[in-house]
Each structure stands twice: as C-alpha cells, then as structure tokens.
C-alpha cells in the first residue's frame, strides 16, 4: 500500500516537473518567434555589403539610390533633398516590422508634405510587398529591395532599421529596432522644424 502511494507521488512530481520545464521553454523560446529574432525585437538579415564600404554613420551623407516603388513610381533619394526623409528598412515576415508599420504610416500622414517616408523591404519581391501594403492599407512609398542593393548600401543587418535623414541629405539618427510613434514624431518634429 505504501509503495503505491510512493509511486503516485513520484509520478505526480515527474509530471509537475515536466509541465514546469515545458512552460519555461515556451516562455524563453516560443516556437512562433521569428527565426533570427532576438528579445530586443530586432530580426537579423543577411545582405551583401559591398567590400570596403563603411556602414553609414550619423553625420555622414545618406547614400543615394534610385528605385521603383510597388506602385511603379521612381524614387531617387538625392532628388528629395530640401525635406527630411525617414528611411525604414523591414520585411513582411518580421513581427516587429509588421507591428510598427501602421504607426510608421500614421506618422507619415501626420508629417505629409513636410517629411518623406520610404519603406524598403529587404530581399522581398514586389508582389509580396504589395500584398502586405494592401492588407495594412499603407500609404507611403513601398520599395521591394529584391536584390538587397539598397539594404547592402546601408549595411542593414537587423530590422526594423530606421535612418532619419535631414533636409541636406545627412544622416541625423539611426535606430535599429522598433521605433514608437512618439519617438518618431519627436525626431521628425526636430528635423522638419
């Protein structure tokens, strides 16, 4: 009788221990977390940075590029001089990029005519980006950086990544990781004057 009681206690302890360990694993490494993501909210990406190219830095000139948006409109960064630009690098599969996209769009609308906001999708094709932008009803220019040319020029290795560029084409601030609506508003207010 006593050995049965001991066996039940041992089984109960084993089951309880297994449940606790499974709970700890789920909290620390949930299977639904993005591959390449870390707890800071930055998802890693692999892009080809041209050999010998230094990563952009605050105070340096923003690298020029020409691209076509998913709407078929050409965008040349240097042609936007005279007004601040917020360059946002992300991807449709990136959880934090998806979460902040509506806020980025709302801030862009609030600064319409005073700041240009351009979203660049690392390694994604136009159809994927268009489906994403349509689903979220995004209004800012969206660029599918299929070949990672723009992402490589900006040495983007983690997303979301934000480059705040002043009206003279100089990088004013770089943020890797999610940016809140208020933080973006504060930076853009200072840049837009």
Number of neighbouring beta carbons within 10 Å of residue 11: 10
Residues 137-186: pLDDT tens digits? 999 999 999 988 998 898 888 889 999 999 999 999 999 988 989 999 99
Check pLDDT > 90 for residue 45.
no
Segment 91-101 shows an average pLDDT of 92
Residues 103-143: pLDDT tens digits? 999 999 999 999 999 999 999 999 999 999 999 999 999 99
Residues 22-44: pLDDT tens digits? 444 444 444 433 334 444 576 66
CB 76 within 8 A of CB 154: no
**φ, ψ of residue 172 in degrees (nearest 5):** -95, -35
């Amino acid at each position: 009788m006593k050995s049965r009681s001991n066996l039940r206690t041992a089984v109960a302890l084993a089951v309880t221990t297994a449940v606790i360990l499974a709970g700890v694993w789920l909290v620390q490494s949930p299977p639904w977390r993005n591959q390449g993501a870390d707890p800071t909210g930055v998802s890693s990406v692999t892009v080809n940075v041209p050999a010998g190219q230094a990563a952009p830095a605050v105070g340096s000139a923003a690298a020029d590029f020409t691209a076509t948006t998913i709407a078929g409109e050409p965008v040349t960064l240097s042609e936007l001089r005279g007004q601040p630009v917020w360059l946002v690098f992300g991807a449709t599969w990136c959880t934090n990029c998806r979460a902040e996209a509506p806020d980025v769009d709302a801030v862009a609308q609030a600064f319409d005519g005073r700041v240009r906001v351009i979203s660049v999708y690392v390694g994604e094709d136009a159809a994927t980006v268009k489906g994403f932008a349509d689903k979220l009803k995004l209004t800012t220019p969206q660029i599918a950086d299929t070949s990672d040319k723009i992402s490589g020029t900006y040495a983007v290795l983690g997303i979301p990544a934000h480059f705040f560029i002043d009206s003279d084409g100089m990088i004013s601030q770089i943020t890797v990781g999610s940016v809140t609506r208020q933080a973006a508003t504060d930076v853009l207010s200072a840049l837009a004057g």
